[in-house]
């Protein structure tokens, strides 16, 4: 897509992503022996399996949310969570029953959110590099050192994959790769008790998902939609479509004023990610020093 001529691209790249993550976490488990590592590994692998089935079979829109809800269950069964939800300024809220629903909801949201922003070369992996490393920094700030170390493979695997995924990419992550990255991010946020901070760092991707749902008004896979939110110009730039039936997306908003190349659009998304990552880090300092 968006390239001159017909270019063959390897897909799906989720196999390489999950291999790097599982290998890293197994080594960490050998040293730390923590249930949190098992919970993160199992949930992440299940998300990969769900995405791989969707890559091969092209399942319907409801498949991924429902399946990801089941993928969140290992976190609950292994007890790798704390039912206190921490907020900046306001402190912690004890919600033991409601928090179980939050665990499921968060894995579904983070998995599908990263999947929905995987629309341009390098965006999903590059965005995850920024978001995951900012999450690791916040965990270090809050002195949650073990979970911070557990989170590092997500950032480094995303960075390694970005080398081949960035424009002009030679591999696509597919649903298996995107769901793997998103689900692991959500799992780390839960076991590290930084759910609110994680949501702040993910805001641009969350906005993209919200725009999609608000315009489509139903849960549906993007492959089932015929109208595209952007069009390709003769000089290979992206411009917002005039088709009122097309869904609204973050990319469509970015190119609403002027057409941009795919690389330029990606850079705008990365700037937004850096901004919200900064907000997440500031929030961590607020929680640590009770500002």
Range of the domain at 113: 14-217+261-289
Whether 254 is in a domain gets the answer no
Whether 41 is in a domain gets the answer yes
Q: Is residue 3's pLDDT more than 80?
A: no
Count: domains in the chain: 1
Q: Rounded to the nearest 10 degrees, how much is the dihedral formed by the CA atoms of 14, 115, 220, 167? A: -90
Does residue 10 sit in helix, strand or coil? strand
Q: Which residues contact 64 (CB under 8 A, 6 or more apart)?
A: 50, 51, 54, 111, 112, 115, 175, 179, 221
Which segment of 95-99, 131-135, 201-205 scores lowest on mean pLDDT?
95-99
Whether 248 is in a domain gets the answer no
Whether 238 is in a domain gets the answer no
pLDDT at site 167: 87
CA distances from 114 to 43, 74, 121, 145, 265 (A): 16, 21, 13, 25, 17
Q: Is residue 221's pLDDT more than 50?
A: yes
Q: What is the pTM of this model?
A: 0.92
pLDDT at site 291: 47
Whether 51 is in a domain gets the answer yes
């306001």: which residue's tokens? Answer: 90
For residue 84, which phi and psi values (nearest 5 degrees)? -90, 125
| Contact by Cβ (8 Å): 119, 250 | no
More confident residue, 31 or 89: 31
pLDDT, tens digit (0-9, with 9 covering 90-100), for 77-123: 999 999 888 887 677 788 888 999 999 999 999 999 999 899 899 99
C-alpha 52 chain-centroid distance: 16
Tokens of 201: 């760092």
pLDDT at site 136: 98
In the chain, what percentage of residues exceed pLDDT 90?
67
pLDDT at site 24: 97
Q: What percent of the chain is helix, strand and coil (3-state, nearest 5)?
A: 65, 5, 30
pLDDT at site 243: 82
Q: How confident is the model at residue 231 (pLDDT cuts 50, 70, 90)?
A: confident
| Contact by Cβ (8 Å): 183, 14 | no
Q: Is residue 240's pLDDT more than 70?
A: yes
pLDDT, tens digit (0-9, with 9 covering 90-100), for 172-193: 999 999 999 999 999 999 999 9
CA–CA separation, 252 and 288 (whole Å): 38
Of 31, 38, 110, 33, the C-alpha closest to 69 is 110
Q: Is residue 163's pLDDT more than 70?
A: yes
pLDDT at site 213: 79
Residue 133: how many CB atoms within 10 A of its CB? 19
Whether 90 is in a domain gets the answer yes
Whether 226 is in a domain gets the answer no
For residue 77, which phi and psi values (nearest 5 degrees)? -65, -35
What mean pLDDT value characterizes the chain?
Answer: 90
Which segment of 44-53, 60-69, 112-121, 173-182 scores lowest on mean pLDDT?
60-69
Whether 1 is in a domain gets the answer no
pLDDT at site 234: 78
End-to-end alpha carbon distance in the chain: 47
pLDDT at site 219: 62
pLDDT at site 1: 60
Tokens of 166: 């960035």
The partner residues of 85 in beta bridges, in order of sequence, read: 93
Q: Is residue 244's pLDDT more than 80?
A: no
Q: Is residue 224's pLDDT more than 60?
A: no
Does residue 86 sit in helix, strand or coil? strand
CA–CA separation, 48 and 41 (whole Å): 10
């Amino acid at each position: 897509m968006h390239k001159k001529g017909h270019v063959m691209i390897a897909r799906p790249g989720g196999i390489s992503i999950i291999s790097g993550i599982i290998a890293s976490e197994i080594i960490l488990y050998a040293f730390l022996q923590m249930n949190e590592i098992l919970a993160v590994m199992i949930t992440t692998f299940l998300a990969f399996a769900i995405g791989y089935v969707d890559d091969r079979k092209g399942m319907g829109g409801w498949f991924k949310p429902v399946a990801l809800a089941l993928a969140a269950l290992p976190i609950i069964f292994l007890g790798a969570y704390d039912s206190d939800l921490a907020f900046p300024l306001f402190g912690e809220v004890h919600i033991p029953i409601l928090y179980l629903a939050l665990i499921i909801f968060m894995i579904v949201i983070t998995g599908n959110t990263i999947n929905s922003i995987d629309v341009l070369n390098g965006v999903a992996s590059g965005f995850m590099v920024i978001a995951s490393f900012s999450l690791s920094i916040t965990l270090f700030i809050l002195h949650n050192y073990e979970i911070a170390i557990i989170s590092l493979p997500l950032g480094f695997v995303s960075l390694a994959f970005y080398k081949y995924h960035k424009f002009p990419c030679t591999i696509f992550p597919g649903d298996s790769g995107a769901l793997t990255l998103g689900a692991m991010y959500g799992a780390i946020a839960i076991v590290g008790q930084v759910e609110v901070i994680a949501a702040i760092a993910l805001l641009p991707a969350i906005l993209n998902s919200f725009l999609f749902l608000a315009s489509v008004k139903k849960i549906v896979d993007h492959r089932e939609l015929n109208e595209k939110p952007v069009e390709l110009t003769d000089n290979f730039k992206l411009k917002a479509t005039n088709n009122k039936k097309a869904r609204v997306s973050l990319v469509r908003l970015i190119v609403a004023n002027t057409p941009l190349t795919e690389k330029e659009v990606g850079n705008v998304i990365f700037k937004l990610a850096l901004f919200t990552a900064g907000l997440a880090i500031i929030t961590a300092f607020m929680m640590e020093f009770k500002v």
